[in-house]
Structure 1
Amino acid sequence: MTDRLITHLRHVDLAVPDFDKQREFYTNLWGLTQVAEDNGIAFLAAEGSPEQYIVRLRKDAEKRLDLISYGAHDRAAVDTLAEQLAADGVQLVHEPRDVDTPGGGYGFRFFDGDGRTIEVSSDVETRQHRKIEEKESIPVRISHVVVNSANPEATRDWYEKHLSFALSDALTLPHLGDLMYFMRCNPQHHSMAIARGPHTSLHHVSFEMRGVDEYMRGSGRLLRAGVTKVWGPGRHMAGNNTFSYFLDPHGNTIEYTTELELLEEDHWHPSHYDVTNPETQDQWGTANPFNELVAKESYNDVDRGCFVAPPV
């Protein structure tokens, strides 16, 4: 197993035109807690997570993915990674420095191969969190993020080379090739995945629930509230996790999940799952079919933030 400098996914930051509507959705319906606000920026935490926040919302005229943030072991790991990326010609947004968002810390930002802004930080203060109780249908933590790429093979290679992510599994379509790569930075089956799409964009953000009952209760709450369901409920083959996908008010796909597989990394060998097998997409057979409409929603809008760092 490779010694990695990155440890885990911290948060995903979104810019949206209708800030108040988006914030109300993520707090009152999705189940996150606002812990701080600063001039059109809201920091939203999961009650079960030690992370200061797992979603940041920023008011902007254009919808975009601001950044994806990962944790590192310590300041030395941050410095080492920054030096390695700069030596490899990766464009840094800024050098390692003190972080001024909730919880502080030490980190830097850079562009990945598709132009997304990535942040890596360490020494962020742990947030006081709590155990999520039985039947409490709110997210425990952020699970993973999936991105679209017009060249997923190159994006996969980039993350393997520069950030030491490893391939866990892939989805493939016979005679056409691979459709999605599930990538890990720790024993969790995937902290990110790379999907083949027509353009660079956010595919979906996934949130871990306490268990299957809480996952179903949360899914039901959204359905009763009239939130658009994209796909689910079901259980994937790759990762063996449950899924229910919904649209937030700005058309981003977000997921409730639970029971994502933990791997014995030293003994794991990736599989390429054929998506023409119905059980690959949904072992249970309870989800609506994955069709062109589902795929279209997951493509999302073209990301306007490629190689343009967010202002904050």
Structure 2
Amino acid sequence: MTERLITHVRHVALAVPDFEKQRAFFTDMWKLTEAETDSGVSFLAAEGSPENYVVRLRRAEEKRIDLVSFGAASPADVDALADRLIRSGVAMISEPGAVDTPGGGYGTRFFDVDGRTIEVSADVAVRAHRKVEEKESVPVRLSHVVLNTPDLERTRAWYERHLSFALSDTLMHPRMGEVMHFMRCNPAHHSIALAKGPHTSLHHVSFEMRGLDEYMRGTGRLLRAGVRKIWGPGRHLAGNNTFSYFMDPHGNTLEYTTELEMLDEDAWHPHMYDFSDPGVTDQWGTANPMDEFVAKESFNDPDRGCFVAPPL
């Protein structure tokens, strides 16, 4: 594997037709903080995160993923990554240069093998953040992003080769074969996961809570408010993290989680887990059963942003 130049996941950018409804959901229900807003764009922060924002929301005629953003340690690493991508024939969107979004910085953009826009940036200013207090059911940070792909092995190979992500674990099913790869760019079990789906789309975006109590309080708050729950609460085996999945107003799946496993990367060996085993999908046995109807909820709509760079 080539040198790892990506450090962590920064944010995900979403475009939606009903901007005001989605914005209200993220602030009032999901408990993100609007850091900045301007003419149909909202930058939403997590209270415990030094990132200027963890979700960027944009008004658009069609729903799509605008981009997934990752961090790098330095501008030199951004340059090195861009050079590696260009030499490998990856489709570039922009050469390394100044980033014109809150926090600034130095970054580059390119398409992944499925046509998603990926951004990698460094030297982004740190947001004034705070310690999330006990019993406070607000997201601390962005945990991970899961992406649907119609060609699971091709997409895994692309992220391994070009961005030096490492495989942590795999889910398989006796009838369907391998269905999900958990990929890491630091000791956290996964910063992204790749799911086998019928088309390229967003599977879900996950947000880390302070702890178990705060995770359960957040789950309960959303249930009481009538937000549609898809699956949970429970605890996965792969990653050992808790999960509660909900549907946002535009049909995107969002997750509250906590206690994602931190790995000793030098000693770790990937597992192959059979997710037809109920103890794999939910160690606690508290979630509604995983079945084809639950799984289908996260197929989402085919993404309209494939190989089309977002306007900002």
TM-score range, shorter chain: over 0.9
Partner residue, 1:234: 234
Q: Report the alpha carbon displacement of residue 142 of structure 1 after superposing the two structures with TM.
A: 0.1
User: Distance between the aligned counterparts of 1:168 and 1:246, measured in 2?
Assistant: 25
Matches within 5 A, 1:209-248: 209-248=209-248
User: Which amino acid counterpart does residue 213 of structure 1 have in structure 2?
Assistant: D
Q: Report the alpha carbon displacement of residue 175 of structure 1 after superposing the two structures with TM.
A: 4.8
Partner residue, 1:96: 96
User: Distance between the aligned counterparts of 2:276 and 2:193, measured in 1?
Assistant: 20
Partner residue, 2:107: 107
Matches within 5 A, 1:74-85: 74-85=74-85
Q: Deviations for 1:211-237, whole angstroms, at most 9, x for unmatched residues? A: 010000000010011000000000000
Q: Report the alpha carbon displacement of residue 279 of structure 1 after superposing the two structures with TM.
A: 0.4
User: Distance between the aligned counterparts of 1:307 and 1:165, measured in 2?
Assistant: 22
User: Which amino acid counterpart does residue 14 of structure 2 have in structure 1?
Assistant: L
Matches within 5 A, 1:299-310: 299-310=299-310
Partner residue, 2:269: 269
User: Distance between the aligned counterparts of 1:255 and 1:267, measured in 2?
Assistant: 29
User: Which amino acid counterpart does residue 197 of structure 1 have in structure 2?
Assistant: G
User: Distance between the aligned counterparts of 2:10 and 2:2, measured in 1?
Assistant: 21
User: Which amino acid counterpart does residue 256 of structure 2 have in structure 1?
Assistant: Y
Partner residue, 1:26: 26
4+ aligned runs moved over 2 Å, structure 1: none
The alpha-carbon distance between structure 1 residues 135 and 151, as it changes in their structure 2 partners (threshold 3 A), is: same
User: Which amino acid counterpart does residue 81 of structure 1 have in structure 2?
Assistant: L
Given that residues 229 and 244 in structure 2 are in contact (C-alpha distance below 8 angstroms), is that contact kept between their aligned partners in structure 1?
Answer: yes
User: Which amino acid counterpart does residue 41 of structure 1 have in structure 2?
Assistant: V
User: Distance between the aligned counterparts of 1:189 and 1:212, measured in 2?
Assistant: 18
Q: Can you give the 5+ residue segments of structure 1 that lack an aligned partner in the other structure?
A: none
SS in 2 for 1:217: helix
CA RMSD for the aligned pairs? 0.8
SS in 2 for 1:161: helix
User: Distance between the aligned counterparts of 2:203 and 2:175, measured in 1?
Assistant: 24
Q: Deviations for 1:48-80, whole angstroms, at most 9, x for unmatched residues? A: 000000000000000000000000010000001
User: Distance between the aligned counterparts of 1:2 and 1:95, measured in 2?
Assistant: 21
SS in 1 for 2:23: helix
Percent identity for Structure 1 against Structure 2: 70
Partner residue, 1:129: 129
User: Distance between the aligned counterparts of 1:3 and 1:53, measured in 2?
Assistant: 27
Q: Deviations for 1:255-274, whole angstroms, at most 9, x for unmatched residues? A: 00000000000000000001
User: Distance between the aligned counterparts of 1:207 and 1:276, measured in 2?
Assistant: 26
User: Which amino acid counterpart does residue 218 of structure 1 have in structure 2?
Assistant: G
User: Which amino acid counterpart does residue 160 of structure 1 have in structure 2?
Assistant: E
User: Distance between the aligned counterparts of 1:31 and 1:186, measured in 2?
Assistant: 27
Structure 1 length normalisation: TM-score?
A: 0.99
User: Which amino acid counterpart does residue 155 of structure 2 have in structure 1?
Assistant: T
After superposing the two structures, state which structure 1 stretch, 2-11 or 21-30, moved more.
2-11
Partner residue, 1:159: 159
Partner residue, 1:65: 65
SS in 2 for 1:286: coil
User: Which amino acid counterpart does residue 95 of structure 1 have in structure 2?
Assistant: E
Q: Deviations for 1:156-215, whole angstroms, at most 9, x for unmatched residues? A: 000000000000000011253111000000000000000000000000000000001000
User: Distance between the aligned counterparts of 1:196 and 1:234, measured in 2?
Assistant: 22
Tell me if 1:120 matches 2:103: no
SS in 2 for 1:265: coil
User: Distance between the aligned counterparts of 1:85 and 1:30, measured in 2?
Assistant: 36
Partner residue, 1:138: 138
User: Distance between the aligned counterparts of 1:21 and 1:228, measured in 2?
Assistant: 15
Structure 2 length normalisation: TM-score?
A: 0.99
User: Distance between the aligned counterparts of 1:95 and 1:276, measured in 2?
Assistant: 45
SS in 2 for 1:237: coil
Q: Report the alpha carbon displacement of residue 3 of structure 1 after superposing the two structures with TM.
A: 3.7
User: Which amino acid counterpart does residue 306 of structure 1 have in structure 2?
Assistant: C
User: Which amino acid counterpart does residue 123 of structure 1 have in structure 2?
Assistant: D
User: Distance between the aligned counterparts of 1:156 and 1:66, measured in 2?
Assistant: 21
Partner residue, 1:41: 41
Given that residues 2 and 161 in structure 2 are in contact (C-alpha distance below 8 angstroms), is that contact kept between their aligned partners in structure 1?
Answer: no
Q: Deviations for 1:81-104, whole angstroms, at most 9, x for unmatched residues? A: 001101100000010110010000
SS in 2 for 1:138: coil
User: Which amino acid counterpart does residue 187 of structure 1 have in structure 2?
Assistant: P
SS in 1 for 2:136: coil
